[in-house]
Structure 1
C-alpha cells in the first residue's frame, strides 16, 4: 500500500501520559461526570466597569445569591440579594438598564430548545421590595430602560406591568395556541433564527416594538408521548416542513402612553429575523429576508409616522447568514459583519447606511464580535487569523488601523469584557490544556492575574491512558481539509488498525478545532485505548474557510460532504497501518445523515456506520434551515431526493445502527421510521434503537450511558 503523507501542523503530546500502568477511561466515568471541566461562573459586568456580578447557587441547600466582585482583586464586595423565606431560590437574573432592579427567575420549565416558562419577580435593590409579576407562569419579562415598567408574554399575548401603580395592561388579546403569537417567536424562528423574545423596549420606555405570528395555516405536527400513565397522549405544535406554509409575521408598535398599537408595513418582508431599537428612541432597525434567504435588507423604521427606509442590502447567490453583530454608535452610525468580500468581516456604516469603511480584511474570518469602546475608538473581536482551527482575540480602530493581538496562547481564546472595556477575562483552552481563566487589560492584553484553571483535572488524567490529537490537512477533491487523528498509545506502524471516522459536516460547522475535549472526545479516547484509530475530517461545506468553501454545497446538501468523507476514508486506507476492511463512520443529526449516506453510497469503503437522530429526507425538516441551503422541494426536487438514503436502501452491505428519540421535536423520528421501513422492504439486516420520549439530545437519567454502551458494543462487535 502507498503511504499517505500528511502536512503535520502540530501534535500535542500529553507528556506525562506514558503507556505503562495506565487505567482506561470507562463509559460510567464519562457520563457520571468524572472529567467535568471547571468553568467560570457566568458573570455580568456592572456599568461602572470595575465590578461584576455572579449568580451563585448552592444545590445542597437549595439557595441562591447574586454577589458583586471587583475585577482587579476578584474579591467579593457584597451580596446584592439572596434567597430567603420571602425570596424563592432563583436560577437566573437580569438587571434593569440603570441597575436599580433585578428580574429573578424561579420555577422555570423548558418548552423547546430556548423557550422557557417561569414564575418571575422584580427586586428593588435599594428598597429591597419584591414584586411577583404574575401568579401564572409567563415568558420573557423585560424591564423598560428606566425600570418603571415591565413587559412580558402570557399565553401568546403581550402585557405591561406598571411597577409604580401595580396595574397591568393587556396589550394584545388575539393570542391563542396554534394560531396567533404576540411577542414570542414560533417554533421555527426559535430553532433557526435563535431567539424567543420578539418584543423590545425603546431607549426611553415610551414604545414597544413586537412581532406577531399568525400560524393558523402552518401544518400541524404531533408526536406521541408515552410517559408513565395508562394511555399515551399527543404533543401537538405547528412545524412548517420544507416547502410548506410559514407563519405570517408582522411588525407592530405599541405606544405606552396612549395604549395604542400601530402597524408597520414593509413590502416583501417574508421573514423578520431581527428587530433592534437605535439609540434615538424614535427609530427602530428591522431586518427582513425573502423566502430564499439570499436577500437581506436592514431597514430604519421611523416610530413617529411608521415610515420605512432601506439602510443596507445584502445579496448572495446562495444565502445570507443572520447574526447579532449590529451595534449602533452614539449618532446611530453602526458596525455590521458581512461575508460580501468572501470572508466574514467587520464594516462601518454611517446613520444613513453609507459604507464608511471595511474595518477588517484578509483571507480569514471574524468569528465573534465583542463590542466597541467609543471613548478609545477600539473594536474588540475574535477571529481565526492565526489558522482556521484556532481562535484569538484582537482589537482594532474603526478606521481599520492599529490592530492589537490581545491573546497570547495558541488554541481557542474567547473574551468577556467589562462594561467600560478596561478589563477582559480570557478563556483559553487547547487540545492539550483544559480551560484556563485569566484577567487582562483590554488596552494591551497584559495579564493582570490568574483566576481559575483545571490543573487538578490534568493531574487526574495523568493516570489514564490518553493520546494526543494529531492535527494535519488531507488533500481531498482538490481541497486541503482540516483533520485530526488519534492513534493508540502503543501504536505500531507495522500493525494494522480499524478506522472509525467521526464528523458532523453541517454548513458552517467545525469539528477539527484546537480545543479541549468534550464528552465525545473522551469516548474516542476509550475506543483508541482498545486499538482503534479515530479520525475527524471537516469537508466541504464546513466553516471558517471562506464563503465559497462553505456555500459550495448549496442546493445539494450532503452530496459533496459525503463524497469528501468517502474519498478521505479511501485515502486513509492507503496508509499501511489502516485495515481497509475495517472502516467505520458515525455522526449525530446532520452527521447521522452523513454516516447513513456514507455506508450506502460508500458501501465499498465503509463496513460499519452509526447514525444518531439522523435526517433521512430534507423534505421532513423545517422551512428556514432547509430552504436556506436547498430552496424548496418544489423548486429543487432532485436536490432533496438524490441524497435521501431511504430512496436507495438496496445499497446497504455493511453493519448499520440507527438510533432516535421518539420525542424529538427537531429531527422527527419519522426520519428514522421511513429509513427503517425502506430497509425492511429490501430485507436488509440492521440494528436500531428508539429512546422513548427523548428529544434530539437523547439524555436524561442513564440514557446517555445506555446509548454509548450500545454504540461501544456495536463497534466492538462489528468493526
Structure 2
C-alpha cells in the first residue's frame, strides 16, 4: 500500500513538473509586464568618480530622493536631495546638477511635446542652504546652468531667457519667437526627430557667451492632425498643426548666433553654403566654438571653429561620401584642442585623432569591424573607451585603447551584447550584459582591465519563471543570399519535427543602418514569437543589404533606391527557406512596423507568389510623404530622383496584389512621424483597384500605438489575423 501511494505521489509530482514547464505565453502576460526584466535605475556618476547618484521615490514616506551610492560597495552613503527638505515642493520629476554639484534644477509637471522634447515648471535648488527658487512663472524648456552656476538659460515661447540666480533678474535674449514661425534656442520637429537634437543653445566655458540656433519656419509647409478626444468629453475634434518639411519641400532657414551676456548684443555667424547645422559644441578654448554643417544631400559634413571675439568661422575638417555622411556625437576636444572624431572613410566606422587645425594625427582603430559606441577619453591614462563589433556584427564588446592606437585591451567578460556606463574618472564602469540565452546582468568592473568587482543585479527570477513556459531557443546563423552572408535568427516550435512542414512568419525592419538580428535577450515581440511558435509557426528574421554594422558598402548599397535591394533579399531568403523540407513554401508571411511596414507592403504587392500574407503597421507607403532630413539623406529629393521614389512605393504596385493573399494595414491617427496620410493614400489606391484587404485605425495614437489596452488589442488583432490566414 505504501509503495502504491508513493508511486502515485511521484507520478503527481512528475506530472506537475511537466505541466509547469508546458505553460503557453499569453498576450495578457506580455503586455501586463509579467516578463519584464529587472532594470538598473539610471545612475549618474559624481565628479569624484567613486560615487554615483540615483533618483528614487520612497512610497512609505512619500519622499522623492536623489541618493548617493558607493561604486565599490554599492551601499547608499547619503542623500543629496530629499523632497522632505523642500516644503515648497511635494515631489519633483527630474533633476539636473550644476557642474560643481552645489545646485540642481528640479522639474515638475513635465509634459511631452514630441519624441524628445518636453516643457515643465522648473526650480533652482541650493543643496547646501536648501533654498529653492522658481525659474519662471510659466512652463519653460531646456533650463541649463551656466558653467559658474550663477545663471540659468532657458527657452519660453520660442525665445531664450537668462535668469540670474542670486538677484532673480531676468534677461530676454531674443524677442522674435513665434509659434510655427520663429524658434530660438530649440530645434524644429525634423531636427528633433532625425538629428536627435532639441536644445540648440550652448554656454561658453566662462559663462560670458551663449551660442544658439534660430529657426525661421515661415516657408515650411504645415501639417495638421485631427485629435478626436474621448467619448462624452469632446464634442468636436481638435487640431494639432506643426511645421513638417516633407521630401523636396522647404526646410527652415537656420542661422547661428553668438550672444554676449555682458553687452547683451547678438552677432550672427556667417558660414559657407549649408542646409543643416546639426551639432553645436564648445571647444577647450573659451573663445572658440565648433559647429557641424552639412549640405542638403548630407554627403558633405564640415566642422567649423568659430572665433567668438570676431564671429568669424574657419573650416577645420570635411567628411565626404558618395552616399551620405552620418552626423557624429563622438566629437571630443582634448586640452590642446586636438579632437577625437569617428568616420566611415575607410569603409568601416572607426575612431580618428586630429590636431586643432584639422590635420590627422592617428587613425586610432582599424579593421573590418565597427565602433558602435564611443564612451569617452580617460585623460589620466590617455585611453579611449569604446564599444565595437570586433567579435562579430551580432555581438558587442567593450575595449580601451591608447590615443595612438596601441595597447588595446578587451574589457568584455562574455560574448554577447555588452554595454558600459563609466564613472567620471574612468575608474569603474557598470557593464550590462545579455545574450540570446541570458537576460540583463549588471556588474561593476574595473576600467583598467575589465575585472568584475561585484555583481550589481541579475535576472535570475525571470530566468526561473521562464522555465515554466514553452520557450524555444532563438537560433543565430547566417544565410547566403545574393552573394552575402546575411545574419539570421530562427525560432522553431518546441516540439519541432523535421519530417513535418511548418508555416513561416518573417519579421524585418530593414531600414538603413538598422539591426534586428543580434546576440541579445528577448524583448516584448520575442515573447509574442514564442507564443506563435507554440501554435506551430516558425519565426524568422534576416538582416539584408542596407542594414548596419557590416561596413559602409553593405549599408549604403541602397542609396537612391530604398526598398529595392532590401526587398530582394527578403524575397530570396523566403525562397531559400521554402526549399527546406520542414517549411511549407505556400505559407510564408511577412510583417513589419514603420520602415518594416513599407517593406512588408512591398513584399505582398510585388512578390505575392512568394508571400501569402503580410501585416504592415504604421508604414511609409511613399517616401514623398516622409520628412526631408531622413528621406533625402538616402534618396536625394523627389525632383532629382522621381523614379527612385515611385518605383519602390507600395502604392505603385497595388494592382499586382493577389486577392487570394491576405493583407492587414494598421495605423495610429495621431502619428506625427509617419503620417496616417500614408495609409489613407494606400487604402484609396487599393479601393480603386478593387482589392480586398483588412485595416484598422487607432484613434489619437502616435507612431508607437500604445496607451491603456491599445497594445493588447493590437497584438490580439495581429495574432487572430495570423492564425486565420497563415
Instruction: State the TM-score, normalizing by the size of structure 2.
Output: 0.96
Per the TM alignment, residue 181 of structure 1 is displaced from its structure 2 partner at its CA by 0.1
1:117 pairs, out of 113, 116, 119, with 119
1:602 pairs, out of 599, 607, 611, with 607
| Residues 7-406 of structure 1 mapped to structure 2, 5 A cutoff | 21-58=21-58, 63-84=63-84, 85-228=87-230, 229-406=234-411
1:644 pairs, out of 649, 670, 676, with 649
Per the TM alignment, residue 90 of structure 1 is displaced from its structure 2 partner at its CA by 1.7
**Cα gap change, 1:213 to 1:397, in 2 (>3 Å):** same
1:498 aligns with 2:520: no
Q: 2:20 touches 2:468 (CA, 8 Å); kept in 1?
A: no
Q: 2:398 touches 2:420 (CA, 8 Å); kept in 1?
A: yes
1:648 counterpart SS class: helix
The aligned residue for residue 11 of structure 1 is none
The aligned residue for residue 656 of structure 1 is 663
Q: 1:282 touches 1:302 (CA, 8 Å); kept in 2?
A: yes
**Cα gap change, 1:21 to 1:41, in 2 (>3 Å):** closer
Q: 1:414 touches 1:428 (CA, 8 Å); kept in 2?
A: yes
1:688 aligns with 2:695: yes
1:674 pairs, out of 673, 677, 681, with 681
**Cα gap change, 1:486 to 1:623, in 2 (>3 Å):** same
Aligned mates of 1:42, 1:461 — CA distance in 2? 26
1:34 counterpart SS class: coil
1:554 aligns with 2:559: yes
Q: 1:122 touches 1:131 (CA, 8 Å); kept in 2?
A: yes
Aligned mates of 2:492, 2:61 — CA distance in 1? 45
The aligned residue for residue 718 of structure 1 is 725
Q: 1:218 touches 1:247 (CA, 8 Å); kept in 2?
A: yes
After superposition, the C-alpha distances for 1:125-167 in whole angstroms (9 at most, x for unaligned) are 1111111111111000000011000000001000000001100
Bigger RCO of structures 1 and 2 (CA < 8 A, at least 6 apart): 1
Per the TM alignment, residue 269 of structure 1 is displaced from its structure 2 partner at its CA by 2.1
Aligned mates of 2:667, 2:58 — CA distance in 1? 35
The aligned residue for residue 492 of structure 2 is 487
Q: 1:390 touches 1:412 (CA, 8 Å); kept in 2?
A: yes
Gaps of 5+ in 1: 1-16
Aligned mates of 2:436, 2:620 — CA distance in 1? 30
The aligned residue for residue 442 of structure 1 is 447
After superposition, the C-alpha distances for 1:688-712 in whole angstroms (9 at most, x for unaligned) are 0000000000000000000000000
Aligned mates of 1:702, 1:658 — CA distance in 2? 19
Aligned mates of 2:436, 2:651 — CA distance in 1? 38
Aligned mates of 1:523, 1:82 — CA distance in 2? 41
Aligned mates of 1:205, 1:348 — CA distance in 2? 28
Q: 1:19 touches 1:490 (CA, 8 Å); kept in 2?
A: no
1:562 counterpart SS class: helix
Per the TM alignment, residue 280 of structure 1 is displaced from its structure 2 partner at its CA by 1.2
Per the TM alignment, residue 375 of structure 1 is displaced from its structure 2 partner at its CA by 1.2
Q: 1:19 touches 1:489 (CA, 8 Å); kept in 2?
A: no
1:634 aligns with 2:649: no
Aligned mates of 2:322, 2:301 — CA distance in 1? 12
Aligned mates of 1:103, 1:490 — CA distance in 2? 56
Aligned mates of 1:62, 1:564 — CA distance in 2? 55
Q: 2:602 touches 2:653 (CA, 8 Å); kept in 1?
A: no
1:665 counterpart SS class: coil
Aligned mates of 2:164, 2:430 — CA distance in 1? 37
After superposition, the C-alpha distances for 1:305-331 in whole angstroms (9 at most, x for unaligned) are 011111110000000001210000111
Aligned mates of 1:427, 1:131 — CA distance in 2? 38
Aligned mates of 2:392, 2:678 — CA distance in 1? 37
Per the TM alignment, residue 59 of structure 1 is displaced from its structure 2 partner at its CA by 6.3
2:284 counterpart SS class: coil
What RMSD over aligned residues (CA atoms) do the two structures have, in Å?
Answer: 1.1
Q: 1:179 touches 1:214 (CA, 8 Å); kept in 2?
A: yes
The aligned residue for residue 525 of structure 2 is 520
Moved more, 642-651 or 332-341: 642-651
**Cα gap change, 1:507 to 1:59, in 2 (>3 Å):** farther
**Cα gap change, 1:675 to 1:111, in 2 (>3 Å):** same
Aligned mates of 2:341, 2:276 — CA distance in 1? 19
